């Protein structure tokens, strides 16, 4: 077995074999690369609180050693691909590696975004302006999704929704050359379906960083954070045409209330009354202070308007919030908590999505844990328990920029380890929605459809109404059920409140939902047993207790469950 094939099977995979047969490789920089790979391994292992939750230390170190051994046979682009993929294997959205060298600051002149109905160009540079709104069908003669998925392996993510957002590496000509999809001169062939339905094949010519908002030679992907109407750092905003009504990207630097609220303002913090719909809308695209307004003051002013309007619905939109300074959140959420006893709104909705990152996840957690709210959209880019507060480490020998998480944020219940926080009601975007100016999350709220969370419906309208909505959502959103459900903790808390009010029939209906959603949860079966016994269905309740003890003999309520079973003469394993 050759060294190339051995390395390929160990980690880099089949792309290396094909590339090595067509490229002349250089080994002049091997020593520097080996030094920096060792530094990457050392920094991750010493800085990250626990880097080996998704990949073992042994496997990670074997991958690093295999990459080092194979370096002489790789081009610079392939070395960069290998190093980025090594770091991405950590599986942490805050631990990542990017090139920091001018020869990698070369980009394809389109912005691609994944919608539910495919991959579409949301913004196109003037040299390929007619591609704005086009659907990308193929890249380098292969299905677009296959190539984009390969590019995604270069960037770490906490969950599949963050991974869907991580398609920006496909814009890097050097990386696409390193992956084996671009030609030797960096050009990339694509097949696309234009807005008029015509199928075309185009050759994309990469262009260097020239946007004055970024440093010359910037190759570090900082351009990915603004909304999808903006592309890679080429030219100026006036040079880009967007898929949204064919507007130039620079148009989104000016407010326009005719656009959907999430695209109406260029500011990071924005609020707006929607009196026609008895709603107030707040958008926070980052967590932090503006030059002339603090984060706390922004929410103080917005909520003062809410106090005056007293809307039926208050919407907090975090779908474009990429994080910031989490220390600002305590003062913000306190303003909502102090209104909880007598809120000026009737319904509170928080919108999340795959771009809800870092401190924005902490902000979402604050709303979920401290207020009575409903979450709509897509799950955020990380679970409530996640690594963050990354530090940046420059590795100048080769030209790399490493970021590594330094803190573990524990925001979920003890024992919960989900990397994906589920929403109450899904609202994914299709491209058809996008270009029509529809907002699947906001529009349904404004239309008056039932969008409240199941625990809230249970407390306000009772168990029968909750069961009816539950079954309707199960049918309507069947394809999204793996990320559409309230936490078992929230259902149980609602059950406890219903029990305090002696609404045991309502408790039973909610407990049935808890078991249906979490059939392996001892807690869910335990509260179902409690509810059944409370309404004199003792035999059913005891069977539920038995099920709870089978699932977890040491669950929190196991002592009372065992006592009830003993008194009934049921033999149980001790």
| Ranges 145-154, 405-414, 530-539: which has the least confidence | 405-414
pTM above 0.85, yes or no: yes
The pLDDT confidence band at residue 32, using thresholds 50, 70 and 90, is very high
Instruction: Give the Cα separation of 193 and 131 in Å (integer).
Output: 9
Cα–chain center distance at 391: 21
Instruction: Give the Cα separation of 270 and 472 in Å (integer).
Output: 34
Residue 551 pLDDT:
96
Mark 222-259 as b/e (b = at least 16 C-beta within 10 Å).
ebbebbbbbbbbbbebebbbbbbeebbbebbeeeeeeb
Say if residue 421 is exposed, middle or buried (CB neighbours under 10 Å; 0-12, 13-18, 19+): buried
Long-range contacts of 292-295 (CB under 8 A, 24+ apart): 293/269, 294/328, 295/269, 295/325, 295/328, 295/331, 295/332
CB under 8 Å to 224, separation ≥6 — which residues? 168
CA nearest neighbour of 375 among 472, 433, 305, 445: 445
CB atoms inside a 10 Å sphere around CB 207: 19
C-alpha pair distances (Å), 60 with each of 50, 67, 85, 149, 151 = 13, 11, 11, 21, 20
CA nearest neighbour of 301 among 258, 272, 330: 272
- Percentage of residues of the chain with pLDDT beyond 90: 88
CA nearest neighbour of 291 among 317, 268, 271, 272: 268
Residues 377-434 have pLDDT tens digits of 999 999 999 999 999 999 999 999 999 999 999 887 644 457 889 999 999 999 999 9
Residue 258 pLDDT:
92
pLDDT above 90 for 137: yes
- Looking at 89-143, list the stretches that DSSP marks H as alpha helix, in order from N- to C-terminal side: none
193 - beta bridge partners? 135, 199
Residues 443-485 have pLDDT tens digits of 999 999 999 999 999 999 999 999 999 999 999 999 998 888 8
pLDDT above 70 for 250: yes
| Ranges 80-89, 191-200, 381-390: which has the least confidence | 381-390
Give the mean model confidence (pLDDT) for residues 225-242: 96
DSSP three-state, residue 445: helix
- Percentage of residues of the chain with pLDDT beyond 70: 94
The pLDDT confidence band at residue 372, using thresholds 50, 70 and 90, is very high
CB atoms inside a 10 Å sphere around CB 463: 24
The pLDDT confidence band at residue 8, using thresholds 50, 70 and 90, is very low
pLDDT above 60 for 199: yes
Mark 81-106 as b/e (b = at least 16 C-beta within 10 Å).
bbbbbbbbbbbbbbbbbbbbbeebbb
Residue 570 pLDDT:
86
- The DSSP secondary-structure symbol of 430 reads P
Cα–chain center distance at 484: 14
Residue 1 pLDDT:
34
Provide CATH code, domain 266-383+419-448: 3.90.226.10
CA nearest neighbour of 76 among 60, 108, 95, 99: 99
Residue whose structure tokens are 């809307």: 311
Give the mean model confidence (pLDDT) for residues 175-199: 97
pLDDT above 70 for 497: yes
The pLDDT confidence band at residue 28, using thresholds 50, 70 and 90, is very low
Give the mean model confidence (pLDDT) for residues 198-223: 96
The pLDDT confidence band at residue 574, using thresholds 50, 70 and 90, is low
Fold of the CATH domain 105-253 = Pdz3 Domain (2.30.42)
The pLDDT confidence band at residue 266, using thresholds 50, 70 and 90, is confident
Fold of the CATH domain 453-574 = 1.25.40
The three-state (H, E, C) secondary structure of 270-308, written as one string: EEEEEHHHCEEEEEECCECCECCECHHHHHHHHHHHHHH
pLDDT above 90 for 26: no
Choice between 15 and 475, residue whose per-residue pLDDT is larger: 475
- Enter the tokens of residue 499: 């029990």
DSSP three-state, residue 205: coil
CA nearest neighbour of 241 among 134, 85, 344, 333: 134
CA nearest neighbour of 224 among 309, 142, 167: 167
Residue 6 pLDDT:
35
- At 168, give phi and psi (nearest 5°): -70, -20
Give the mean model confidence (pLDDT) for residues 179-203: 97
90 φψ region: left (φ > 0), alpha (ψ -120 to 50), beta (else): alpha
- Looking at 99-159, list the stretches that DSSP marks H as alpha helix, in order from N- to C-terminal side: 144-152
The pLDDT confidence band at residue 177, using thresholds 50, 70 and 90, is very high
Residue 14 pLDDT:
34
The pLDDT confidence band at residue 25, using thresholds 50, 70 and 90, is very low
- Looking at 125-272, list the stretches that DSSP marks H as alpha helix, in order from N- to C-terminal side: 144-152, 160-165, 173-178
Residue 403 pLDDT:
97
pLDDT above 90 for 499: yes
Through-space distance between the first and last CA atoms of the chain, rounded to whole angstroms = 56
- Domain positions in the chain: 3-92, 105-253, 266-383+419-448, 453-574
Residue 417 pLDDT:
52
Query: Between β-strands 142-143 and 188-193, what pairing exists: parallel, antiparallel or unpaired?
Result: unpaired
Residue 21 pLDDT:
33
CB under 8 Å to 547, separation ≥6 — which residues? 525, 529
Identify whether the C-beta of residue 79 lies closer than 8 Å to the C-beta of residue 97: no
Give the mean model confidence (pLDDT) for residues 138-147: 98
pLDDT above 80 for 176: yes
């Amino acid at each position: 077995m050759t060294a190339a094939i051995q390395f390929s099977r160990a980690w880099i995979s089949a792309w290396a074999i094909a590339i090595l047969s067509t490229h002349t490789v250089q080994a002049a920089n091997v020593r520097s690369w080996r030094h920096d790979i060792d530094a990457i391994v050392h920094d991750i292992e010493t800085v990250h609180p626990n880097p080996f939750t998704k990949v073992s230390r042994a496997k990670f170190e074997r991958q690093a050693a295999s990459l080092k051994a194979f370096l002489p046979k790789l081009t610079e682009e392939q070395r960069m691909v290998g190093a980025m993929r090594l770091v991405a294997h950590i599986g942490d959205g805050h631990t990542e590696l990017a090139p920091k060298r001018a020869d990698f600051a070369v980009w394809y002149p389109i912005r691609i975004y994944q919608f539910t109905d495919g991959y579409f160009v949301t913004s196109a540079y003037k040299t390929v302006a007619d591609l704005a709104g086009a659907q990308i069908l193929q890249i380098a003669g292969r299905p677009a999704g296959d190539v984009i998925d390969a590019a995604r392996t270069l960037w770490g993510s906490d969950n599949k929704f963050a991974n869907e957002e991580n398609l920006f590496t496909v814009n890097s000509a050097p990386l696409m050359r390193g992956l084996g999809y671009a030609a030797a001169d960096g050009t990339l062939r694509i097949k696309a379906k234009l807005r008029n339905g015509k199928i075309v094949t185009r050759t994309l010519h990469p262009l260097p960083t020239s946007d004055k908002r970024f440093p010359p030679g910037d190759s570090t992907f900082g351009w990915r954070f603004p909304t999808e109407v903006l592309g890679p750092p080429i030219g100026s905003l006036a040079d880009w045409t967007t898929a949204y009504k064919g507007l130039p990207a620079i148009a989104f630097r000016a407010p326009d209330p005719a656009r959907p609220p999430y695209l109406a303002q260029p500011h990071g913090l924005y609020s707006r009354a929607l009196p026609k719909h008895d709603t107030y809308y707040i958008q926070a695209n980052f967590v932090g202070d503006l030059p002339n307004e603090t984060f706390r003051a922004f929410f103080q002013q917005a909520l003062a308007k809410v106090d005056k309007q007293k809307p039926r619905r208050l919407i907090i939109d975090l779908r474009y919030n990429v994080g910031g300074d989490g220390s600002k959140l305590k003062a913000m959420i306190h303003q909502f908590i102090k209104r909880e006893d007598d809120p000026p709104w009737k319904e509170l909705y928080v919108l999340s999505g795959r771009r809800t990152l870092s401190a924005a996840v902490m902000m979402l957690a604050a709303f979920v844990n401290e207020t009575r709210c409903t979450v709509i959209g897509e799950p955020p880019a990380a679970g409530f328990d996640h690594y963050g507060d990354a530090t940046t480490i420059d590795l100048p020998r080769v030209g790399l920029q490493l970021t590594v998480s330094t803190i573990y944020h524990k925001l979920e219940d003890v024992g919960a380890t989900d990397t994906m926080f589920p929403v109450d009601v899904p609202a994914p975007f299709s491209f058809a929605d996008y270009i029509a100016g529809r907002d699947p999350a906001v529009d349904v709220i404004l239309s008056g459809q039932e969008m409240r969370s199941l625990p809230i419906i249970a407390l306000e309208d009772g168990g029968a109404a909750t069961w009816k909505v539950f079954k309707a959502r199960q049918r309507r959103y069947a394809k999204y059920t793996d990320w559409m459900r309230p936490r078992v903790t929230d259902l149980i808390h609602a059950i406890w409140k219903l029990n305090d009010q002696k609404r045991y029939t309502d408790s039973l209906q909610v407990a049935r939902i808890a078991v249906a959603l979490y059939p392996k949860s001892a807690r869910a079966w335990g509260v179902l047993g409690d509810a059944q016994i409370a309404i004199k269905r003792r035999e059913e309740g005891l069977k539920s207790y038995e099920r709870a003890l089978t699932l977890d003999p040491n669950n929190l309520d196991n002592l009372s469950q065992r006592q009830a079973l003993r008194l009934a003469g049921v033999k149980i394993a001790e």
